[in-house]
């Protein structure tokens, strides 16, 4: 399977992951059918994975989809390393861990992910549902941008060159971490969409222009009356952003 990089993520379908935030396999497969041929990446999060396990991931892969397994692993180093080994054979290409788990956990995760067939790790910096007030409530006085950059540097120093961040931080992370990093951006909302529980959001075009590698979109697609049309509209926004001067500057 082709490795993700900034150079091969030029087809808009390779820059969009549809979040299957549904409770069971039946709902997931029904949604996938409604997506038709509008996407290549699917994100399987905790709700769905805990309900279905590896069987659904394997079924989606058999249909030709690339899988982003969003489990946000965060535990003691040995437990996280074991979890990575456990999911390594299922064929997911991306797997999330929390950068806030610390150096020892990140290094153990990076070591475990060296096994053949393991997914590429992407470290979650600051959840897009959090703002400065939420960070302050857990004792972090930095802004989301400052905290995200600190965690991104920590993850990279531990051998993890992929991050999850909001669109607000993606430009600074791209500049600081480099062009080869995979930067996954959730909290994407097309113009006019409801914000829901997200705090730090952007349109698809803005996120791509700032240097995002992969956009994660859930409700604006999955709750649309026609999910395939909603996904294709986002693909059009991605395509329109790819030739923006600011994006080319980020890649130079």
Instruction: Look at the alpha carbons of 70, 6, 223, 227 in this order and tell me if their dihedral is positive or negative.
Output: negative
Residue 250 is predicted with a pLDDT of: 44
pLDDT digits (tens, 9 = 90+) for 77-109: 999 999 999 998 899 999 999 999 999 999 999
Q: What is the mean pLDDT of residues 39-46?
A: 97
* Confidence class for position 243, pLDDT limits 50, 70, 90: low
Residue 228 is predicted with a pLDDT of: 97
* Confidence class for position 199, pLDDT limits 50, 70, 90: low
- φ, ψ (nearest 5 deg) of residue 142: -65, 160
Give all domains of the chain, ordered by start, each with its CATH number. Answer: 12-251 (3.20.20.70)
Q: What number of CA atoms fall less than 13 Å from residue 193's CA on the CB side? A: 24
Most confident among 7-11, 132-136, 158-162, 194-198 (mean pLDDT): 158-162
- Look up residue 143 and give its DSSP letter: -
Helix (H, G, I), strand (E, B) or coil at 204: helix
Cβ-in-10-Å burial (0-12, 13-18, 19+) of 191 comes to exposed
Residue 10 is predicted with a pLDDT of: 75
Residue 251 is predicted with a pLDDT of: 44
Cα–Cα distance, 163 to 99 (Å, whole number) = 9
Element at 173 (helix H, strand E): helix 167-177
Among 50, 33, 32, which residue's Cα sits nearest to residue 41? 32
**Which residue is catalytic, options 3, 72, 156, 251?**
72
- Asked whether the beta carbons of 241 and 215 are under 8 A apart, the reply is no
- Look up residue 64 and give its DSSP letter: T
Q: What number of CA atoms fall less than 13 Å from residue 244's CA on the CB side? A: 17
Annotation marks residue 72 as catalytic: yes
Instruction: Look at the alpha carbons of 247, 144, 176, 4 in this order and tell me if their dihedral is positive or negative.
Output: negative
Average confidence score pLDDT of the chain: 89
Element at 148 (helix H, strand E): helix 144-157
Most confident among 141-150, 184-193, 239-248 (mean pLDDT): 141-150
pLDDT digits (tens, 9 = 90+) for 119-170: 999 999 998 888 899 899 998 989 999 999 999 999 999 999 999 999 999 9
Q: How many CB atoms lie within 10 A of CB 139?
A: 6
- Look up residue 202 and give its DSSP letter: B
* Confidence class for position 196, pLDDT limits 50, 70, 90: low
């Amino acid at each position: 399977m082709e490795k993700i990089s900034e150079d091969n993520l030029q087809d808009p379908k390779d820059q969009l992951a549809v979040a299957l935030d549904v409770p069971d396999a039946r709902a997931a497969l029904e949604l996938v059918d409604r997506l038709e041929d509008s996407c290549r990446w699917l994100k399987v999060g905790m709700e769905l994975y805990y309900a279905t396990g590896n069987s659904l991931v394997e079924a989606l892969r058999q249909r030709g989809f690339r899988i982003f397994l969003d489990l946000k692993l965060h535990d003691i180093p040995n437990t996280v390393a074991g979890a990575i080994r456990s999911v390594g054979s299922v064929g997911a290409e991306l797997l999330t861990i929390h950068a806030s788990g610390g150096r020892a956990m990140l290094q153990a995760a990076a070591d475990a992910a060296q096994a053949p067939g393991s997914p590429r790790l992407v470290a979650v910096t600051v959840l897009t549902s959090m703002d400065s007030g939420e960070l302050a409530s857990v004792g972090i006085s930095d802004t989301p941008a400052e905290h995200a950059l600190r965690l991104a540097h920590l993850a990279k120093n531990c051998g993890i060159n992929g991050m999850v961040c909001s669109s607000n931080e993606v430009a600074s992370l791209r500049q600081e971490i480099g062009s080869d990093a995979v930067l996954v951006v959730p909290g994407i909302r097309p113009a006019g969409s409801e914000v829901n529980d997200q705090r730090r959001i952007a349109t698809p075009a803005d996120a791509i222009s700032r240097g995002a590698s992969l956009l994660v979109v859930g409700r604006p697609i999955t709750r649309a009356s026609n999910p395939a049309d909603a996904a294709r509209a986002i693909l059009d926004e991605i395509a329109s952003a790819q030739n923006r001067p600011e994006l080319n500057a980020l890649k130079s």
